[in-house]
């Protein structure tokens, strides 16, 4: 997994677009909840009010409900949790008792999540500094678990995708592990109106996304197949960004970063990329630009 820092301001800037896109995956949430309700006792089907507790070194909040209540809750493990955007969106939509573990390699991002009240879940939240290699140690046992992530899979290498699939559906995984893996880019980007340099920028950008063996735009389909090979029931749903002038700041940041990544891959594109960005910013200022960025959400349920 790429471990260079992800800017916290970028994660914050994209949060609204991410959350809006994920509403398109509501059917996946409904299917997931049906399975969780089958697994949980009736007393756990609605989350109870979290009570105050002493904060541990890595814990943002603690429930006083005790071990029995914890056993009746879904353990949600957020891989690459970042600033907590995934928890902020998903926790209120899980109509079950829950406790969260936020796993990330970046201590600074976990600290941002700890300081953001909008990211907190309804129950206990524990923050763990680590990588995807630490996930299998969290998905053992008979506990009902939900592995989740947002905008992560494209940053994995094949070996890391295997670790993820094993943790969710491999022979050593727990008996009741589900997964909701969200907002994986597909490489399908449409910017309207078109520009003569679009294809060159896209080719360089996609090549950069696959650098050093990263899955890049192939990630969602690759992970889906790995899970199916392990007997999981997998469903994919489109959760594309559809951006217009109401998201001008995000579009400007996205286009600038897209050009910079293309130049990082091929420095000879520097002049062309600058001209492309300038033309696109002029269209954005005139309210003429529309940007569609393909994403997929993946739901994995234990096979019958």
When pLDDT is averaged across residues 14-36 and rounded to a whole number, the result is 94
The pTM score is 0.87
* Token pair 């299998």 in the structure block, residue: 136
**Residue 65 pLDDT:** 43
**Residue 10 pLDDT:** 79
Residues above pLDDT 70, as percent of the chain: 86
When pLDDT is averaged across residues 13-37 and rounded to a whole number, the result is 93
**CATH number, domain 8-186+217-241+296-301:** 3.40.50.150
pLDDT digits (tens, 9 = 90+) for 112-164: 877 766 555 567 899 999 999 999 999 887 889 999 999 999 999 999 999 99
| Residues 217/185, Cβ–Cβ less than 8 Å | yes
Q: 36: part of which helix (H) or strand (E)?
A: helix 26-39
C-alpha radius of gyration, the chain, whole number: 20
* CB within 8 Å of 243: residues ≥ 6 apart: 17, 250, 251, 254, 290, 291, 292, 293
Using pLDDT thresholds of 50, 70 and 90, give the confidence band for residue 83: confident
User: In whole angstroms, how far apart are CA 4 and each of 61, 75, 106, 137, 162?
Assistant: 28, 28, 9, 24, 21
Domain boundaries, the chain: 8-186+217-241+296-301
pLDDT digits (tens, 9 = 90+) for 227-246: 999 999 999 999 999 999 89
**Residue 47 pLDDT:** 46
Pick from 113, 92, 89: nearest CA to 102: 113
Between 140 and 272, name the one with better pLDDT: 272
**Residue 1 pLDDT:** 54
d(CA 242, CA 183): 13
Which residues are 128's β-sheet partners?
A: 103
User: What angle (nearest 5°) sits at the alpha carbon of residue 262, between those of residues 261 and 267?
Assistant: 105
Say yes or no to pLDDT of 5 above 80: no
Say yes or no to pLDDT of 58 above 50: no
Phi and psi dihedrals of 181, rounded to 5? -110, 110
First to last CA, the chain: 31
User: In whole angstroms, how far apart are CA 274 and each of 37, 204, 286, 291, 294?
Assistant: 52, 14, 19, 18, 24
* Token pair 């899970």 in the structure block, residue: 227
Say yes or no to pLDDT of 99 above 60: yes
**Residue 72 pLDDT:** 77
Please say whether the dihedral angle defined by the alpha carbons of residues 215, 138, 108 and 19, taken in this order, is positive or negative.
positive
Question: Could you give the 3-state DSSP secondary structure of residue 28?
Answer: helix
Say yes or no to pLDDT of 209 above 90: yes
Say yes or no to pLDDT of 76 above 80: yes
d(CA 175, CA 150): 24
Say yes or no to pLDDT of 48 above 50: no
Residue 142 CB coordination number (10 Å): 9
């Amino acid at each position: 997994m790429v471990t260079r820092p992800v800017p916290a301001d970028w994660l914050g800037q994209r949060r609204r677009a991410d959350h809006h896109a994920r509403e398109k995956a509501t059917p996946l949430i409904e299917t997931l909840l049906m399975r969780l309700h089958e697994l949980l006792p009736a007393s756990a089907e609605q989350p109870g009010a979290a009570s105050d507790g002493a904060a541990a070194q890595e814990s943002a909040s603690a429930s006083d409900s005790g071990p029995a209540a914890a056993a009746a809750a879904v353990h949600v493990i957020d891989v690459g949790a970042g600033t907590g955007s995934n928890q902020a969106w998903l926790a209120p939509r899980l109509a079950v008792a829950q406790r969260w573990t936020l796993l990330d390699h970046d201590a600074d991002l976990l600290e941002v999540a700890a300081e953001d009240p909008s990211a907190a879940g309804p129950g206990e939240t524990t923050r763990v500094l680590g990588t995807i290699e630490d996930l299998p140690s969290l998905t053992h046992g008979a506990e009902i678990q939900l592995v989740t992530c947002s905008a992560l899979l494209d940053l994995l290498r094949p070996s890391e995708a295997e670790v993820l699939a094993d943790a969710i559906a491999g022979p050593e995984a727990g008996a009741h592990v589900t997964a909701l893996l969200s907002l994986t880019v597909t490489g399908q980007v449409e910017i309207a109106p078109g520009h003569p340099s679009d294809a060159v920028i896209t080719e360089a950008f996609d090549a950069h996304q696959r650098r050093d063996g990263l899955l890049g735009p192939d990630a969602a389909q690759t992970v889906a197949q790995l899970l199916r090979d392990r007997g999981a029931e997998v469903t994919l749903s489109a959760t594309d960004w559809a951006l217009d002038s109401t998201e001008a700041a995000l579009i400007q940041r996205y286009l600038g970063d897209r050009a910079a990544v293309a130049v990082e891959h091929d420095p000879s594109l520097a002049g062309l990329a600058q001209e492309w960005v300038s033309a696109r910013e002029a269209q954005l200022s005139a309210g003429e630009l529309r940007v569609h960025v393909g994403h997929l959400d993946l739901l994995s349920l234990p096979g019958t």
